[in-house]
């Protein structure tokens, strides 16, 4: 019976949102209050982002009515009181750069804009899954709105610039 009660409490808290339990993230707290400690802060961030799949793309958008890429990333990280600017190029100035081979879920992934010849960052997403030779990320794309894509897709692999980690 005690197991069932604990399960129901944890399940209810997961539905309500989660807080950080790791002291490393003591300064970054989600705006939704909860005491669930069965999910890591990064898993919670990725889960939060995933709940926004299929919201349409909107240039300059930063709400559930529609997001651009940096507006979506900013919105997600804001839930954990991590303030980011509303520009992918400006967001790339935050965090610690990590090698692609060391990328983890929750890291930001940056790309050149429309032109592969440009040196300017023009797109950003949040990494959701990593395996050898495999990086999946969620982002707001002009075609499809909030969706998943893979780094090994020709369009993104040609435009890849960097991975940045905001949480240690």
Q: How far apart are CA 166 and CA 151, in angstroms?
A: 20
User: Are the C-beta atoms of residues 84 and 164 closer than 8 Å to each other?
Assistant: no
Extended beta strands in 25-115, E state = 62-63, 66-67, 96-98, 108-112
Query: For residue 108, which of 133, 159, 58, 74 has the smallest C-alpha distance?
Result: 74
Q: Does residue 18 have an active-site annotation? A: no
Of these residues, 18, 52, 54, 139, which one is catalytic? 139
Annotated active-site residue 94? The verdict is no
Catalytic residue among 18, 52, 54, 69: 69
Residues ≥6 apart with Cβ < 8 Å to 5: none
Per the annotation, the verdict on 76 as an active-site residue is no
Going from the C-alpha of 89 to that of each of 10, 14, 113, the distances in angstroms are 39, 33, 10
Residue positions annotated with a catalytic role: 69, 123, 139
């Amino acid at each position: 019976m005690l197991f069932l009660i604990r399960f129901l409490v944890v399940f209810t808290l997961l539905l309500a949102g989660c807080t950080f339990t790791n002291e490393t993230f003591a300064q970054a707290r989600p705006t939704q209050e909860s005491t669930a400690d069965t999910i890591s802060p990064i898993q919670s961030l990725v889960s939060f982002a995933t709940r926004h799949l299929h919201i349409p793309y909107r240039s300059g958008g930063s709400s559930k009515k529609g997001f651009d890429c940096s507006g979506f990333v900013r919105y997600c990280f804001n839930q954990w009181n991590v303030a980011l600017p509303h520009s992918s190029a400006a967001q790339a100035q935050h965090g610690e750069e990590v090698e692609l081979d060391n990328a983890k879920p929750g890291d930001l992934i940056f790309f050149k804009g429309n032109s592969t010849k440009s040196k300017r960052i023009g797109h950003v997403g949040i990494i959701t899954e990593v395996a050898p030779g495999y990086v999946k990320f969620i982002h707001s794309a002009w075609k499809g709105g909030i969706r998943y894509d893979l780094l090994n897709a020709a369009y993104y692999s040609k435009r890849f610039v960097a991975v940045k980690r905001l949480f240690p």
